Amino acid sequence: MFKKILIANRGEIACRVLKSARKMGIPTVAVYSDADRDAMHVELADEAVHIGGAPASESYLVIEKIINAAKAAGAEAVHPGYGFLSENAQFAKALKKAGIAFIGPNVKAIEVMGDKIESKKFAAKAKVNTVPGNPGVIKDEKQAIKVADEIGYPVMIKASAGGGGKGMRIAHTRDDVAEGFRASMSEAASSFGDDRVFIEKFIVDPRHIEIQVLADAHGKCIHLGERECSIQRRNQKVIEEAPSPFLDEKTRQSMGSQAVALAKAVDYQSAGTVEFIVDKDRNFYFLEMNTRLQVEHPVTELVTGVDLVEEMIRVAAGEKLSYGQSDIQLNGWAVESRIYAEDPYRNFLPSTGRLVRYQPPEEGVDENGLVIRNDTGVSEGGDISIYYDPMIAKLITHGPTRAAAIDHMAKALDSFYIDGIGHNIPFLADVMKRKRWRDGKLTTGFIEEEYPDGFSPRTPSDEERDAMAAIAACLDHLGNERRREITQQMKGQNVSFVEARVVRIGGQDLHIRIDGGLGEPSTVRLLNDKGDTRASMVVASDWWPGMAVWFGTVDGSEKAVQVRPISNGYDLSHGGIHLPVYVYTEREAELAALMPVKALPDRSKFVHCPMPGLVVRIDVKEGQAVKTGETLCIVEAMKMENVLHAEKDGVVAKINATEGDSLAVDAVIMEFE
Ligand code: ADP
Ligand code: ADP
Ligand code: MG
């Protein structure tokens, strides 16, 4: 076995790989850029080597620097994680030349599978079902239209070197093809330095289902079942699960054997993933093979019990696979949510900054056998910088059934507390409540179809509203009790009396009576207009002022609610609901009703910078009249270009930024008349 391993990555995946190495007793070496001096992966590793500037192109992507670091530290093998150099054949070659083992497949497999055109041809030869379409490079618009006409609409135009959902366009008409061809080509050239594109049939309402394979250097290859990754935004996965609620045993077996056949055809070794697109009749077609550890590998680990990273390390060291196909059993269900630094209330724009608070749910197995796993690379006080992937963590749950895993995920998300930056937890929590998700009726269009107008916090049902109001009243009640404790006035006298409160929630005033002493459940009654009790509930919790998450029960049903104190109340969030709740005494409520409502400033005349970023292009001039939807400017942040459009017709009065400017969030880029 290797005496030392270097991990050529950062963030959660570097930490993930470190864990398996540590379990196997292998010392580890981390590498880090200027931006990652204090990062978790550096702290966790046995040794760390500084490799350069913050931009990945000056550090994590520089082959020579990684190899020098490995040599200097005496590492015998390198694990690349995902992204960065993980699917770079030059890197694998350079390591080989330096006599260092690459914990991944052979160079040929990376080369063939790294190219969508080549891999599709190769898969067809290995008798794997491929998406109908033309397997060649498209030269110009004329040929693009001809090929699209032959395939039949809709079609998908794709960059051969593509990855991460980039460089692909759907075309429904000839005009779309011309435009999509140009767009794919230029995106491919700028993102991948390779402008070859091809065209295939667009599979309508498809599901994304992929097979995990594992192979050794001695000719043995097995599959570990499937993962379904249909919940995507902009062709990027957001929620994944294993197994898929859609597959029957027969389809699973035939997808599994095609995946294994393909892996064998490229002499694959290590862990890899064969991605398929599946139509509503369970026809499946090969999309691509990812020759690395996949972001969503933990769901497979939880249902199979196999440590994929450990197997990758063993295989790279020349060991035989210790599992046969019949050893692989799928147990229960696992779901993964990708927690991204992006603001769901602002069209998922990337968000950067300091994690002022970062309190993930506790990992482990509970008394019912339900599992929470949190793969992360950050801790409280850490930074989410503009330089790298905006993923903060991957939250994974496992249970005996799909419903149990989803319920556990909902609870875990409700108790995952992050402050300081925008994040998508409210959105993920909302998905967990959606009927269509719970029914497993998925397609890759799920998010677009379920959230046609983007995401906004869910309006609570009357029952949910009452429960939130009751919890808010209890929070306030406890706060009062604690003040009495602190002043020692009532110390030792277990007093219990009824308090009257008015809870303002979602524009309504609820009159409440709350009863119960410190440390015991409270009985909360909600009154109707006549002052009679219309509902009554028992609220119990160990919450104490200052705690970020309220865990407790309302009439015996468990809940986790995030609590952020605001003036006169609390900002509460739970299950995709997120709203301020004010708690007043009856007299305060009377007075509060008389307070003038502060008018919000009119922001509609200004174009604000949606996140800290770089102005790449300004498309309009002062004095120019623009129409709704017209492009105003482009701001780049976290490797993504964000196009800002005019929200209404108007005339540009003043432009405050120029191309190349670095702007703070909410900086006014331009003003309208
Ligand atoms: P997965 O199927 O595992 O989600 P993705 O294709 O979404 O894989 O990519 C996984 C990671 O690799 C992401 O962090 C993404 O940003 C990165 N990535 C994917 N393709 C490339 C590429 N060509 N160059 C650099 N990073 C990439
Ligand atoms: P990447 O390398 O960026 O991951 P993929 O080829 O794996 O590219 O495609 C990413 C996603 O795009 C898929 O998960 C699927 O949602 C969608 N997609 C790709 N090809 C097709 C197709 N032919 N028909 C329908 N959807 C597709
Ligand atoms: Mg893919």
The answer, yes or no, to whether any atom of ligand 2 lies below 6 A from the CB of 275, is yes
Ligand 1 midpoint to CA 394 (Å): 15
For the domain bounded by 132-201, which CATH number is listed? 3.30.1490.20
DSSP string, 317-370: TTPPPS--GGG----SEEEEEEEESEEGGGTTEE--EE-SEEEPPPPEE-TTS-
Ligand 1 midpoint to CA 325 (Å): 28
Lookup: tokens for 152: 């039949």
Phi, psi angle pair for 431, to nearest 5°: -60, -40
Ligand 2 midpoint to CA 159 (Å): 11
The answer, yes or no, to whether any atom of ligand 2 lies below 6 A from the CB of 199, is no
d(CA 135, CA 150): 13
Residue 494's pLDDT is: 56
d(CA 278, CA 671): 48
Output the residue whose Cα is nearest ligand 2's atom 14.
208
Phi, psi angle pair for 583, to nearest 5°: -120, 120
Residue 235's pLDDT is: 86
- Check if 288 is active-site: yes
d(CA 270, CA 182): 37
Average pLDDT of the chain, as a whole number: 93
d(CA 670, CA 261): 57
* Closest among 519, 552, 336, 560 to 431, alpha carbons compared: 336
Q: Give residue-wise pLDDT tens across range 644-655.
A: 888 888 999 999
Angle formed by the axes of helices 297-304 and 308-316, to 10°? 100
d(CA 637, CA 388): 10
**441 three-class SS:** coil
Ligand 1 midpoint to CA 660 (Å): 27
* Ligand 1, pocket-test mutation among 82, 85, 297, 337, most atoms within 8 A of CB: 82
Residue 639's pLDDT is: 66
Q: Is 372 left (phi over 0), alpha (psi -120 to 50) or beta?
A: beta
On whether the CB atoms of residues 576 and 589 are closer than 8 A, the answer is: no
User: From the alpha carbon of 164, which atom of ligand 1 is closest?
Assistant: 6
Peptide bond into 243 cis (omega under 30): yes
Catalytic residue of the set 228, 288, 310, 336: 288
The answer, yes or no, to whether any atom of ligand 2 lies below 6 A from the CB of 294, is no
User: From the alpha carbon of 162, which atom of ligand 1 is closest?
Assistant: 23
3.30.110.70, 3.30.1360.30, 3.10.50.40, 3.30.700.30: which CATH number matches 462-592? 3.30.700.30
Ligand 2 midpoint to CA 394 (Å): 22
* Ligand 2, pocket-test mutation among 204, 277, 442, most atoms within 8 A of CB: 277
**637 three-class SS:** strand
Output the residue whose Cα is nearest ligand 2's atom 19.
287
On whether the CB atoms of residues 554 and 537 are closer than 8 A, the answer is: yes
User: From the alpha carbon of 192, which atom of ligand 1 is closest?
Assistant: 23
CATH 2.40.50.100 fits 606-672, yes or no: yes
Residue 135's pLDDT is: 83
User: From the alpha carbon of 165, which atom of ligand 2 is closest?
Assistant: 3
pTM, two decimal places = 0.88
CATH class of 5-103: alpha beta
Residue 178's pLDDT is: 93
Ligand 3 midpoint to CA 29 (Å): 29
On whether the CB atoms of residues 592 and 504 are closer than 8 A, the answer is: yes
Residue 479's pLDDT is: 85
Question: What would the 3-class secondary structure string for 25-76 be?
Answer: CCCEEEEEEHHHCCCHHHHHCCEEEEEECCCHHHCCCCHHHHHHHHHHHCCC
d(CA 286, CA 300): 20
* Closest among 30, 32, 24, 25 to 45, alpha carbons compared: 30
Residue 527's pLDDT is: 96
Low-confidence ranges of the chain (pLDDT < 70): 485-497, 517-518, 639
User: From the alpha carbon of 166, which atom of ligand 2 is closest?
Assistant: 3
Q: Evaluate whether 132-201 and 606-672 have a shared fold.
A: no
What residue spans define the domains of the chain? 5-103, 132-201, 462-592, 606-672
Q: Give residue-wise pLDDT tens across range 350-386.
A: 888 899 999 999 999 999 999 999 999 999 999 898 8
Lookup: tokens for 66: 């990684």
Beta strands per DSSP E along 234-307: 236-242, 270-278, 284-290
Residue 666's pLDDT is: 86
